[in-house]
Chains A and B, each alone.
Chain A
Amino acid sequence: DSGVTQTPKHLITATGQRVTLRCSPRSGDLSVYWYQQSLDQGLQFLIQYYNGEERAKGNILERFSAQQFPDLHSELNLSSLELGDSALYFCASSVGGASGGGQETQYFGPGTRLLVL
């Protein structure tokens, strides 16, 4: 158990809908990262937050957004869902993440499996 929790574990929804995935980082970790794992694209970095602020952006679609709250939990919002958004979404956390970092180990949650029908 990495200490990172994600809810829900599974989510089934229809095209065009909007969903919210939730992540709680390990105790003491300030950085949260979101990744998408799909058969086509593999594991891709979406976005990072550090202590409530966006820190780095990867291949995140404009239909997707995220935020990190004062209690450090994070939510990933996916809207106008398409069939191709079906994937396993991982949240990871690390201790730091301030500028100049990169060396921190990221610990991953169990993932949320999203199926868009």
Chain B
Amino acid sequence: AQKVTQAQTEISVVEKEDVTLDCVYETRDTTYYLFWYKQPPSGELVFLIRRNSFDEQNEISGRYSWNFQKSTSSFNFTITASQVVDSAVYFCALRTRREHSGGGADGLTFGKGTHLIIQP
């Protein structure tokens, strides 16, 4: 079975601080895809990034960066110089190819989310 753990339930920082959201995943499959989504107070789920299991390159997009480490099964997300608008719940998610049960793919398996509060 696959699993995503976001151990930090809530993080509160002051604006302009850097903050890292942790994500640890478990899967038996060798081909898988990792995602981060943002859920602002308005409720919608906004896609942030997708990473394939065979591509361990870290990625930076503006103030956002992602650190993928297969050795520790982690896909952490860092926001640099945080802003109040970054306040939201952030979800890490996993999707695998069903290598052990007929191929295809299931839906996303989400972590419980980290509620990030950026105080002015």
State the A residues within 8 Å of B (CB).
2, 33, 35, 42-48, 55-56, 58, 88, 90, 92, 97, 99-103, 105-111, 113
Contact = CB atoms under 8 A, between A and B. Distances in A.
A101 B113 contact: no
Nearest to B102: A99
Dominant secondary structure of chain B at its interface with chain A: strand
B104 A55 contact: yes
B115 interface: no
29 contacts: A2-B44, A2-B47, A33-B107, A43-B91, A43-B110, A43-B113, A45-B109, A46-B107, A47-B107, A48-B106, A55-B104, A56-B107, A88-B43, A90-B45, A101-B97, A101-B104, A102-B31, A102-B32, A102-B33, A102-B96, A102-B97, A102-B104, A102-B105, A103-B52, A103-B95, A105-B47, A107-B47, A108-B37, A108-B45
Contacts of A101: 97, 104-105
Interface of B: 31-33, 35, 37, 43-47, 50, 52, 91, 93, 95-97, 103-113
Contacts, number: 76
A9 to B, nearest CB: 10
Nearest to B93: A43
Dominant secondary structure of chain A at its interface with chain B: strand
Nearest to B113: A42
A106 B33 contact: no
B104 A111 contact: no
